Amino acid sequence: MGGKGKQEPNQDPPLFPAEEAVEAEERRVPLAERMRPRTLDEYRGQAHLVGAGKPLRRMIESRRIPSLILWGPPGTGKSTLAHVIARTLDTHFVSYSAVLTGIKEVRDVMSDAAYFFERTGRQTLIFIDEIHRFNKSQQDAFLPFVEKGQVLLIGTTTVNPSFDLNAALMSRVKVLTLRSLDVADIESILAEALADPDRGLGRLDLRVPPELLHKIAVFSSGDARRGLNLLEQLADYAEERGVAPTDEELREVLHQKVLLYDKDGEEHYNLLSALHKSMRNSDPDATVYWVVRMLEAGEDPRNVCRRILQCASEDVGLADNQALHVALQAWQAYELLGLPEGRLAILQAAVYVAVAPKSNALLRAWTAAQRDVAESSAEGVPLHLRNAPTRLMDAEGYGEGYLYAHDYPEGTTDMTGLPPALAGRVYYEPSGAGLEARIREKLREIAERKTAFAKRRADGRKGSRTE
């Protein structure tokens, strides 16, 4: 039986030729990941750690690296540095994220690392991203393996390790601080990504003006990953439109600059501290900047109001007793208006406190009295200052010797209000600033009236208003 053999059905050609498929697969990997440095020579920034002759570079080159905690803001190269170290040491490398990994998995890999060490004498490099996400008891799982040298632990954190890592672990690791990258470093990283035809955007032959590259670097706020993500967005935009974006289109693509801010981390307290110190230093311009920066970044306005109130008491005090009222009224205005309307009330109070006369006399008074409370015996209240609501108390001498100030023409007496051991102690000493200059004069006048009262009393003349 003759005839043609069975024909294969027509097949559609592949959506991408093989080479294009590989390229499409590569492009699905974010640019920031593709451009991750592989060696110290490719690494940018952190010259204080990896520059010629610097501590970490010497450790890496000598291949004698202790367990490390790399602490710094996002996008500063912490994870990259860990991968560079692993590549340099050419050792068994295990990577985990504390966000995605349970402590049971970590214990299992620690046990495997201990077995590997016993069999080969080689350490396992265990990389834990965001190690602060493990609670302090979970962190204890690392201790015996780090202590015995069976593992080389490298953890990264964006929060102050003094607060979130337990003391036992901190004593067994070296903490290295990474800094936000400067604009020049990020420009260099972006330029390399534009030029690299294999891992970067070089094959697209994009023409990005230097001034545009500079703007992207500034928008990145010291975060290389953010800068590369922005550049990738712009590359997609340029491919779609066929031209580089204008300044207006740049803002459209970038939307709004994302400010470095962690409302639960150290940066939160750094910014509040910057605001407080600017108000204390009578710098209204810095005060405006920090208030706006925090509120634009999403800080709870109540935290800003609380810090303004604190400064009004601690650093202005009675030099301008309206400062506390203004700060409190601004908070009330915010609660009534909300945002965005309430932001100017907050700024008004902050600037008022910044330009108000300054005095820390109340803080110094508190500190001195607090020291005496802590260091002196807690004497009983002197009898003449006690009330005597019962006959027994009266018989015990409660209230005896009390001098009612309104009974005397001076309006005051030389009666002491302090316990005997502290008699004569001076806590409140007003400054010469603002209202406190008048208060200081008032206290001098009161002292003179007390002296006059004591003299009359010594002369035997009571001189009460009821005489």
Q: What are the pLDDT digits (tens) for 80-97?
A: 999 888 888 878 888 888
- Give domain 183-259's CATH number out of 3.40.50.620, 1.10.8.60, 1.25.40.10, 1.10.3370.10: 1.10.8.60
| Structure tokens given for 356 | 């108000």
Gap between the Cα atoms of 339 and 137, Å rounded:
41
Backbone angles phi, psi at 200, to 5 degrees: -105, -140
Q: Where are the alpha helices (DSSP H) in 255-342?
A: 266-280, 284-296, 301-311, 322-337
Topology of the domain covering 266-358:
Zinc Finger, Delta Prime; domain 3 (1.20.272)
Cβ atoms within 10 A of the Cβ of 165, count?
Answer: 22
pLDDT in tens, 49-84: 998 888 889 988 888 889 999 998 888 999 999 988
Nearest to 218 by CA among 184, 263, 188, 173: 184
DSSP 8-state class, residue 314: I
Reported confidence tier of residue 16, pLDDT bands at 50, 70, 90: very low
Domain boundaries for CATH 1.10.8.60 within the chain: 183-259
Reported confidence tier of residue 204, pLDDT bands at 50, 70, 90: confident
Reported confidence tier of residue 243, pLDDT bands at 50, 70, 90: low
Q: In sequence order, what are the residues at sequence separation of 6 or more whose Cβ sits closer than 8 angstroms to the Cβ of residue 205?
A: none
Residue 254 has pLDDT above 50, yes or no: yes
Window from 5-19, 22-36, 254-268, 347-361 with minimum mean pLDDT = 5-19
Reported confidence tier of residue 466, pLDDT bands at 50, 70, 90: very low
Domain boundaries for CATH 3.40.50.300 within the chain: 46-177
Nearest to 266 by CA among 404, 65, 72: 72
Q: What is the 3-state secondary structure (H, E, C) of 209-221?
A: CHHHHHHHHHHCC
Instruction: Identify whether 340 is preceded by a cis peptide bond (ω within 30 of 0).
Output: yes
Which pLDDT score is estimated for 318? 95
Reported confidence tier of residue 18, pLDDT bands at 50, 70, 90: very low
pLDDT in tens, 317-333: 999 999 999 999 999 99
Which pLDDT score is estimated for 115? 86
Sort strands 68-71 and 174-177 into parallel, antiparallel or unpaired.
Answer: parallel
Taking the C-alpha atoms of 217, 218, 224 and 226 in order, what is their torsion angle to the nearest 10 degrees? -100
| Structure tokens given for 288 | 């405006």
% of residues, the chain, pLDDT over 90: 37
Please provide the CATH number assigned to the domain covering 46-177: 3.40.50.300
What average pLDDT does the structure give for the chain?
84
> Tokens 């604009």 — which residue?
183
- Which has the higher per-residue pLDDT, 162 or 345? 345
Range 211-230 average pLDDT: 87
With beta carbons less than 8 A apart as the criterion, state whether 84 and 39 touch.
Answer: yes
Residue 15 has pLDDT above 70, yes or no: no
With beta carbons less than 8 A apart as the criterion, state whether 443 and 430 touch.
Answer: yes
Q: In sequence order, what are the residues at sequence separation of 6 or more whose Cβ sits closer than 8 angstroms to the Cβ of residue 421?
A: 376, 377, 379
Domain boundaries for CATH 1.20.272.10 within the chain: 266-358
Backbone angles phi, psi at 26, to 5 degrees: -60, -40
With beta carbons less than 8 A apart as the criterion, state whether 346 and 334 touch.
Answer: yes
Which pLDDT score is estimated for 22? 45
Range 249-278 average pLDDT: 70
Residue 193 has pLDDT above 80, yes or no: yes
